[in-house]
Amino acid sequence: MTKPAHPDYDVVIGLEVHVQLRTESKLFSSAAVTYGDEPNHHVTEVCLALPGALPVLNGRAVELAIRAGVALHCKIHPASIFARKNYFYPDLPKGYQISQFEEPVCTGGYLDIPMNGGEAKRIGITRIHMEEDAGKSMHEGTSDTRVDLNRSGVPLVEIVSEPDLRSADEVGSYLKTLRQILRYIGASDADMEKGQFRCDANVSLRRHGASELGTRREIKNLNSFRFAEAAVRTEIDNQAQLLDEGGSVIQATVGYDSDADRIFVMRTKENADDYRYFPDPDLIPLVVSEARIAEIAAELPELPADRCLRFQEELGLGADEAQVLTGSRELADWFEAAVGDPKSVRNRESAGDPKSVANWVVRDVLGALNERDVEIDAVALAPEGLATLVRMVDEGRVTAKSARGLLAEILFEGGDPEALIQERRLEALSDTGELETVVDAVIAANPEAVASYGEGDKKSVNFLMGQVMKKTQGKADPGSVREILARKLEG
């Protein structure tokens, strides 16, 4: 745990996260959900709020919202109500946003977030409600404001946390864990650069040990992990300074200028919005049967935290590697395909040893992915191919060095490692007779190194090893070479 920057105060943070659901069409219209297309090319009369146009609820969006609720251990309500949230804004043609207010689809769940040191902290989830996104006002390159309604009506869930977070680090951990889960269950791509996962952070301070919550300020629209943490940190510093100077926090909605690392006030409570929520008479209550809810729950894939534990218990991995390997569902799937089913004896022959495969994936595969800044889907080598390579290394049929060289070549190109190893004669030199000949030649060619070894410079054996490796193009088994060298030099 890092020491709190302001020991006189306890920090209290609750997050509201807006998540774009992964649907083909909008929440109440058949217009396509797209990104970066020509403005106003994906709108219907519903998106435009033409008179008489009626909303029709997208069933897929409901299913994804329920998935999120189940994954976050919420109560899923068989009946929920859509309401009108009224405000005037150019990118909102109806003059109201359809949202859920008093009766949302999910309430009362939690999210366990990993903390420094390995243990987890449980953060309460107050509610998850469905709502539609607004359009986009554009100001670039013109003195006018232009409106793009492609985004208008895109389905969102808003996930509201209890005020359980206590630091900027916890905010980062919460957001990362939440995004990971939403991606695992296919509820959202949660691409922050495309605005599919954005966060409002409510921050307050109270005297250390006090039980009443302090007055909060809400930082709007944080769209990267880094900015969210930085904004919260800055806001905490600001409030602490204000309180230290004897001032009091005035409830406000604020924004974060990341270039200047500065918080600015957008509006204070005195002119807070009054949305005049009321049930939308165009929409009947959203009713989902208990059977359907159970079905959606049963179809959920294994969640990352469970998978991480299973990798430790079933495959014997360390906590850190298990965490890395379950970072995304795609990576975990790829790794598991390389490992094969550990319970199946039959598959063991074609699969790799879990610990070895884990090492190779974490070090070599992820290393290469990071270098290119790509994800596991960029890999062309079949997971079984990596398994074969790792097994050949473990069996001493190829050296780690040769295997690493080959892997670098075929990871993004694909290929059959066993065939390539044969074709290129990369098999490890394990025949000691052959190795002895090479060692003899190296000793004969390097009398100075041999002499300095004799004079007590034991490090010169490394030089000789290097020469053997060079002569064998890295195919000699290092252990055997060391053994033979030691025997010949001492003898």
Residues making contact with ligand ADP (CB under 6 A): 12-16, 160-163, 202-204, 213-214, 216, 218
For 49, residues 6+ apart whose C-beta sits below 8 A from its C-beta are 93, 94, 95
Identify residue 264 by its one-letter amino acid code: F
Least separation in angstroms between CB 68 and ligand ADP: 16
Tell me whether residue 102 or residue 299 sits nearer to ligand ADP (CB atom): 102
The 3-state secondary structure of 61-91, one letter per residue? HHHHHHHHHHHCCCEECCEECEEEEECCCCC
Rg (CA), the chain: 30
- In the block, which residue shows the tokens 């070895």? 356
Nearer to ligand ADP, 206 or 404 (CB): 206
Query: Least Å distance between CB 204 and ligand ADP?
Result: 3
Least Å from the CB of residue 393 to ligand ADP: 50
- Tell me the closest approach of the beta carbon of residue 364 to ligand ADP, in angstroms: 42
Residue whose structure tokens are 């080598």: 381
Compute the distance between CA of residue 313 and CA of residue 323 in angstroms, rounded to an integer: 13
* Residues found in the chain: 491
**Residue with Cβ nearer ligand ADP (128 or 361):** 128
Identify the H or E element spanning 442. Answer: helix 432-445
Output 41 or 207, the one with its CB closest to ligand ADP: 207
Closer CB to ligand ADP, 14 or 109, in the complex: 14
Q: Please tell me whether residue 419 adopts helix, strand or coil conformation.
A: helix
Give me the torsion for CA of 201, 206, 211, 216, rounded to 10°: -30
Cα 263 from chain centre: 27
Shortest distance (Å) from residue 352 CB to ligand ADP? 45
Please identify, using beta-carbon distances, which residue of 26 and 85 lies nearer to ligand ADP: 85
Q: How far is the CB of 82 from ligand ADP (least distance, A)?
A: 17
Nearest distance from C-beta of residue 233 to ligand ADP, angstroms: 15
Nearest approach, Cβ of residue 16 and ligand ADP (Å): 5
CB atoms under 10 Å from CB of 381, counted, come to 21
- Closest CB to ligand ADP among 126 and 152? 126
Helix (H) or strand (E) holding 198: strand 197-207
Interatomic CA distance for residues 30 and 41, integer angstroms: 13
Strand 146-148 with 136-138, pairing: antiparallel
DSSP 77: P
Nearest-approach distance from CB 69 to ligand ADP, in angstroms? 16
Handedness of CA 250, 253, 276, 67 (dihedral sign): negative
Comparison of 249 and 303: residue with beta carbon closer to ligand ADP: 249
Q: Which residues contact 157 (CB under 8 A, 6 or more apart)?
A: 18, 19, 21, 64, 65, 68, 128, 129, 130, 131, 187
Nearer to ligand ADP, 99 or 180 (CB): 99
CB 201 within 8 A of CB 13: yes
Closest-by-Cβ residue to ligand ADP is: 14
